[in-house]
């Protein structure tokens, strides 16, 4: 029986941390471990080595203790959330690199494990940059190992990044360009930028985010006059429900609605006119969240139009999988809007267009009454399972291993 190739996954996002990035990394670990012997090198508030899901070894190292304490928590009050955010910004200004401790400890641990049982492949995932820096340093002394650089976001091309941070990101891109074999990213527009930025890299692969559960739903019709709107996740930066609330205020005397928000921080204001119709809950475990999405008439994505292209947002795929339509307040020309239209499973409107948001909600209400809400078919939904994207990465790695004479047998 052929021995499985060994693979190291380097990321700051892994259980017990919770985020869209964690979901991506756990999918990598889950589905890659079907064909490779996987070890994860991750971040936690203490150093330890644990077995995850009974088959993947995870090596944790810790970073700056203050950085961990300043992470926002959903149960924080609005004042405490702002205080933590301010403290986090100040820490980044005062401490040149709060992740340096984690980077050094993780690199040392990775090298030790490689000496004990050599790795054939390493995958590092940005952001932050530290996983790529660890991988680059590792490749200096292990140049025959296959390096896959996973880009969840843009680096130097991110329009929100300027000055020294932009220069730092570009420097890391140049390291990737020199040493990586593969670059993966979440969408083709972002991937195409990296093809220009890193022309020496041989392989590029889109590995979209997706959903991770095995639940199946039948299309159901609700005859209630109350339109149930769902939102799952946090509001941050420019992603706020301000314009949605303005539209709902103007519609409050026209339709009956409930807006259910799960897992958001206390960093947004609910207008008095609709407070009785807005319900805010703690975050739910993943499968419970999917089940709750399925009880809504429509689930909402907010991603205001800006310079960034190639943004799907992680919750979009979960919404599809819950077999309910999506109200997408986003760039009508970007990839997410195109996917919604191609699957005929939602209503798309620019977040800045309050009249358009009102018209979309009224269309949803009408379609609900007519039992004609737009829902993705099961075949399209199945194509978005995270296993599909990760399996495409598995196939590419196997091709590279087979053509690489320096890889271990």
Asked if the model's pLDDT at residue 80 lies above 80, the reply is no
Three-state DSSP string of the chain: CCCCCEEEEECCCCCCCCCHHHHHHHHHHHHHCCCCEEEEEEECCCCEEEEECCCEEEEEECCCHHHHHCCCCCCCCHHHHHHHHHHHHHHHHHCCCCCHHHHHHHHHHHHHHHHHCCCCEEEEEECCCHHHHHHHHHHHHCCCCEEEEEECCCCCCCCCCCHHHHHHHHHHHHHHHHHCCEEEECCHHHHHHHHHHCCCCCEEEECCCCECCCCCCCCCCCCCCCEEEEEECCCECCECCHHHHHHHHHHCCCCCEEEEEECCCCCCCCCHHHHHHEEEECCCCHHHHHHHHCCCCEEEEEECCCCCCCCCCCHHHHHHHCCCCEEEEECCCCHHHHHHHHHCCEEEECCCCHHHHHHHHHHHHHHHHCCCCCCCCHHHHHCCEHHHHHHHHHHHHHHHHHHCCCCCC
pLDDT in tens, 22-62: 999 999 999 999 999 999 999 998 899 999 988 899 999 98
In the predicted model, what is the mean pLDDT of residues 340-365? Answer: 96
- Range with the poorest average pLDDT among 206-210, 223-227, 307-311: 307-311
In the predicted model, what is the mean pLDDT of residues 155-171? Answer: 89
Asked if the model's pLDDT at residue 72 lies above 50, the reply is no
For residues 84 and 111, the model is more confident at: 111
Share of the chain above pLDDT 70, in %: 90
In the predicted model, what is the mean pLDDT of residues 262-274? Answer: 91
What pLDDT score was predicted for residue 45? 86
Indicate the pLDDT class of residue 175, thresholds 50, 70 and 90: very high
What pLDDT score was predicted for residue 88? 45
Mean pLDDT for all residues in the chain = 89
What pLDDT score was predicted for residue 408? 38
What pLDDT score was predicted for residue 406? 54
What pLDDT score was predicted for residue 188? 93
What pLDDT score was predicted for residue 63? 80
pLDDT in tens, 86-101: 544 454 555 557 789 9
């Amino acid at each position: 029986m052929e021995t499985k190739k060994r693979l190291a996954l380097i990321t700051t996002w892994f259980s017990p941390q919770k985020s869209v990035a964690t979901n991506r990394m756990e999918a990598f670990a889950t589905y890659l471990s079907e064909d490779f012997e996987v070890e994860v090198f991750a971040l936690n508030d203490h150093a330890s080595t644990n077995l995850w899901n009974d088959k993947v070894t995870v090596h944790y190292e810790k970073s700056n203790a203050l950085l961990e304490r300043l992470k926002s928590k959903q149960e924080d009050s609005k004042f405490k959330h702002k205080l933590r955010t301010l403290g986090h910004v100040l820490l980044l200004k005062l401490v040149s690199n709060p992740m340096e401790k984690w980077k050094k400890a993780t690199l040392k641990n990775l090298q030790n494990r490689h000496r004990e049982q050599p790795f054939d492949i390493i995958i590092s995932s940005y952001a932050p940059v530290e996983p790529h820096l660890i991988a680059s340093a590792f490749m200096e002394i292990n140049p025959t190992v296959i390096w896959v650089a996973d880009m969840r976001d843009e680096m130097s091309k991110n329009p929100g990044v300027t000055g020294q941070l932009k220069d730092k990101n570009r420097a890391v891109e140049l390291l990737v360009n020199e040493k990586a074999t593969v670059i993966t990213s979440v969408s083709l527009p972002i991937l195409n930028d990296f093809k220009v930025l890193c022309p020496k890299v041989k392989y590029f692969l889109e590995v979209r985010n997706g959903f991770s559960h095995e639940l199946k739903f039948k299309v159901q019709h609700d005859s209630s006059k109350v339109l149930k709107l769902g939102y799952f996740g946090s509001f941050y930066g420019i992603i706020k429900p301000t314009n949605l609330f303005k539209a709902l205020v103007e519609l409050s005397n026209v339709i009956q609605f409930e807006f259910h928000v799960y897992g958001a921080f206390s960093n947004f204001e609910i207008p008095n006119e609709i407070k009785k119709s807005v319900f805010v809950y703690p975050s739910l475990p993943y499968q419970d969240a999917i089940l709750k999405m399925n009880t809504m008439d429509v689930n909402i994505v907010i991603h205001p139009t800006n310079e960034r292209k190639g943004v799907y947002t992680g919750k979009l795929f979960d919404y599809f999988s819950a077999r309910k339509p999506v109200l997408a307040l986003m760039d009508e020309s970007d990839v997410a809007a195109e996917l919604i239209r191609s699957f005929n499973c939602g209503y798309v409107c620019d977040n800045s267009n309050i009249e358009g948001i009102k018209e979309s909600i009224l269309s949803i209400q009408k379609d609900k009454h007519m039992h004609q809400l737009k829902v993705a078919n099961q075949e399209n939904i199945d194509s978005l399972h995270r296993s599909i994207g990760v399996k495409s990465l598995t196939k590419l790695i196997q091709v590279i291993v087979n053509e690489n004479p320096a890889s271990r047998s």
